[in-house]
Structure 1
């Protein structure tokens, strides 16, 4: 019995074990990897109160506008009514609790300054620990290591971080025409490029004629090194991969999923390694990877959410799709509106090169112009 798309995603989360191998990496090599442990701050930042402005640090005294300037060496505690010259980012000595920006000083003498009456105590002061508190969680296990996270890590003198090992995938393309060289293996190259684009690693791309024994032999070899194998083709009614699924020589997790145009797609276990089976028709293969392969990769890699982020767009053109399933419709979005590709049948080849993402439509035959739809970018949204 066919299952829903949501049921397929639930099976991925409950029946597949994420990778457990970790490695220690220099910070810059850890970009976009997934942290394998929590990282906490060893000390507070700033370590001492700091000036946020070029100007003067004063020991604030209410209703006082004239402050006497001290010259170094300064006393241990700056007394009320006194101040010192400070640069941006400089530590503020004890007693001084307010910063007067240079441009706010009414007039300056060699030994004193006059300030406005509206000065607020503690203005332009960054307190101890205001950026980072000692013991603060800087990086959470299973969180993506971004450039912004590296800001906090490097400020603590951390030069290496523990991350899960990069996901390794092999691709097995099945088909007589592929084996004879009659057609080029564009599916495998597209999938490999997408795996790399998403942060994975491709171990091997292998072509196999449509023979059950040879398919099993190739799978046994590929899973020795890969964390996951993707097969393409041979899923039609009388094909070899379909027969292996139905006879349960590979352990099926799901076989029939109500999705379009990626039907039939399947997920199995072979010697405890996940095998994703995608159709051979080009657009069906690639959209099947987006719908099932991407969540599988994200789950194996310990990403917190297996569904990629999406934005909400306004559909600009009436779309027809299949009822009683989850349909992936490729198209283009400028971040506000969505226009679907002119064609999106499973056998189309070059449609996705003209698209920057897709929408998912569930159990509807028509999406009208003006309707809100979710849009998933293939890569990160463009910077406007």
Structure 2
């Protein structure tokens, strides 16, 4: 394994020089938590999660977690599946339309007619990881759904949760162009391509106005890096998009912790929750990713009026997962075992719903 990973490690070390300060971009910084974010960034000290260490999980699937489900049609066990069950869309009249492209990538139409992209990453990993992954045999996406050129170019705002290659793509940023406004966790603007991009860097619990929307940067329990020499040199975040009293929450990659109950206390119940349910297999993966049962419990804590899961699917990279749809099988099974009352809205990649 070490021999296979050596080319990848070397390439990621070399690529550090490709990311200089984006001095030709327009960058605004908004203070929040941590209150010394600017100092941490300037002195290259690492950012930290709000809650760390061993945190007890509210629920656990101990056995028979991946029983076949009648509403999931698969070509092989938990592989290349299609959800065939009813999509029970609650009549929230939120004005939000949600289009899931796969993995963590969403296109959101907002009540005021704006077009917002969440973690837009098309194709395979950004270069050079895509090339190194091919050389080392690391699994790539089985299918690669694309944002249309029109979808990308009409974006009013783009929100990225962190720098990992499955969530942040410089190739797609160049395709989106300079007309959109980019909202990034504190310290991430220097990773943008140069060329006049309008950017707002935000610490946790800071807020920005975008038309009639209020965009809140919120905590997540994760980590951040682009290479092997910049771990946690920039913040990571989830996002709350608010229009009047209607709220859509995108958690980004995150593990379970008390930050979710903090969010509920600050902002009240959330209408639409886009929550990750995958990549929890492997050493310490669950500390920074949620299991399906974690996500169900979080949806209850947030008061989600509807939960849309993501991270599974034919367009996922299956990083740390057994198969393309094992996480969705576990979610459907655990929803019944936990008697969760949170409405689930299960999407296949490419599905679009108005809620």
Sort the TM-score into its range (normalised by shorter chain).
under 0.3
* Structure with more strand by fraction: 1
Scaled by the length of structure 2, the TM-score of the pair is 0.25
Larger-gyration structure (1/2): 1
What is the TM-score when the length of structure 1 is the normalising length?
A: 0.23
Higher relative contact order (CA 8 A, sep 6+): 2
